[in-house]
Amino acid sequence: MTEPRSLFAPVVSITTTKRRRFFWAAWWSGPPVHTPYRKPDAANGGARTREEALAEAEKVAGRELVEIEPHWARAWSRMLRGEEPWLGKPKSPEERVSAERTRADRAQQDQRASIWTVLGVPSSATLDEIKRAYRKRALETHPDHGGEADVFRRVQRAYEQALVRTKRKGPAKKRD
């Protein structure tokens, strides 16, 4: 008895990189799988346009490819950096709405929080301590690193205000 043929179409996932180029990942021997993550048949980055990335992927595959969601290429990109492919488990529509509400609540709390709380330093912090705290918080909250844009902007504003206030106080002494 023969197995039924799969209705799988060869696919490509294209996403943008931090340097505003396009990274693609293509599957033609079988569909991408979420868990365990199925490695693409081929992948590459550096294309200047989405069309250029698609053309390169089709050339490598030797056939026409159907474009799918960019999160598949982002997952492969994370794996190439030695990270987990997915930032969290997939969410149902109800969980997404709940997450949006939580995100909005957190943003409101952040609006009320002091600049020192946002940065995670005391109001008596030195300029060096403020800069170190900002760099750490910026990495945690930056959208390119899985953070939220609103929170990142709040951290940036807090840092700018902290610099102004610290400069008003006069030169700070370094602590040991």
Q: From CA 125, how far away is CA 82, in angstroms rounded?
A: 35
pLDDT score at 168: 81
Q: Which structural domains are found in the chain, ordered by start?
A: 11-80 (no CATH), 93-169 (1.10.287.110)
141: Cβ–Cβ under 8 A, 6 or more apart, which residues?
147, 148, 151, 152, 155
Q: Is the confidence at residue 174, as pLDDT, over 70?
A: no
Q: From CA 123, how far away is CA 117, in angstroms rounded?
A: 9
pLDDT score at 149: 85
Q: From CA 78, how far away is CA 73, in angstroms rounded?
A: 9
Residue 30 to residues 10, 80, 86, 100, Cα–Cα distance (Å): 7, 20, 20, 34
Q: From CA 123, how far away is CA 168, in angstroms rounded?
A: 13
Q: What is the pLDDT of residues 23-74, one digit of tens each?
A: 999 999 989 988 888 999 999 988 999 999 999 999 999 999 999 999 999 9
